[in-house]
Amino acid sequence: MRFIKMQGTGNDYVYVDAFQEKVGDAVELAKKVSHRHFGVGGDGLIVIRPYAGADAEMDMYNADGSSSEMCGNGIRCVAKYVHDTYARGRDELKLMTGAGWRTAHIVTRDKDGNAESVRIDMGAPIFEGLKIPTTIDAPEVLRRKIEVAGQTFEFSSVSMGNPHCVVYVEDVGNFPVTTIGPLIENHPLFPRRVNVEFVQIVSRNEVIQRTWERGSGETWACGTGASAVAAIGHRLGLTGERLTIHLTGGDLLLEYDGTGSVQMTGPAVEVFRGEYAG
């Protein structure tokens, strides 16, 4: 089975073009190919499938085989691959995800005409507690308290097609993400588990983010998480309408004015191609 390894700000996935390849049990395949010692290595598996009325569908699986509705870095790479392979020169692509329709805009191309950076309409944030989902029946889940490992943290929650929990900290570089992250991910407040963003504010237009992703652990970037951080920061009055987010794997530009969709712009990079024999 042929595959493509791509990454967006260090959030790396194994991609399979189901227009050309047959994919059997995607859950087991995700577990095997994602392993960084016994497989290809990545944060998960993304299958690029045909979908009626769309340029393609993104079918996403985390490293543990669990499915996920949406991935901001992943969908930029899907857009790059579809553009470079099937829609060269087009500026806009329509993609289906587990969270619904998303529109991708090709922002820059290299000298050979391949997509370099992509802007994604990430959709409107969902703040209602039960729809995120959390177990909190409230119009918004902002500045709530959660207790894990004998410590109490303030958090705010939002859905960007998948559930997120945003926690502001003073020193994100030294914060115990790998200890606290999985405890919040699996907390009873979140019936479908949750992605956790730990965020240090630099200014109204700049933050530093580390993410613990459900099913994958700490990743070098999270596009839906960055969108959640932009939405929550704006809602709380902590950050402005245009936000640069520094992630371990690079920077993303987020734009959100408090209405409509969050816009995310960032790189999409092909790393290598190969054939998986497992």
Fold agreement between 2-121+266-275 and 129-260: yes
> What is the pTM (predicted TM-score) of this model?
0.94
CA distance 3 to 15: 6
Q: Which of 14, 33, 71, 268 is catalytic?
A: 71
Residues 6 or more apart whose Cβ sits within 8 Å of residue 135: 129, 188, 189, 190, 191
pLDDT at 226: 98
Considering the segment(s) 129-260 as one domain, its CATH architecture is Roll (3.10)
pLDDT at 278: 76
Quick: pLDDT tens for 39-91. Answer: 999 999 999 999 999 999 999 999 999 999 999 999 999 999 999 999 999 99
Percent above pLDDT 90 for the chain = 99
Catalytic residue status for 71: yes
Q: Which of 222, 232, 243, 247 is catalytic?
A: 222
pLDDT at 155: 98
CA nearest to 89, candidates 112, 120, 121: 112
Quick: pLDDT tens for 244-278. Answer: 999 999 999 999 999 999 999 999 999 999 999 97
Torsion angles phi and psi, residue 62, rounded to 5: -75, 175
Catalytic residue status for 77: no
Query: What type of residue sits at position 227?
Result: S
Please report which confidence band the pLDDT of residue 132 belongs to, taking 50, 70 and 90 as the band edges.
Answer: very high
Q: Return the domain boundaries, the chain.
A: 2-121+266-275, 129-260
Q: What is the mean pLDDT of the chain?
A: 97
CA nearest to 95, candidates 37, 47, 63: 47
CATH number of 2-121+266-275: 3.10.310.10
Please report which confidence band the pLDDT of residue 203 belongs to, taking 50, 70 and 90 as the band edges.
Answer: very high
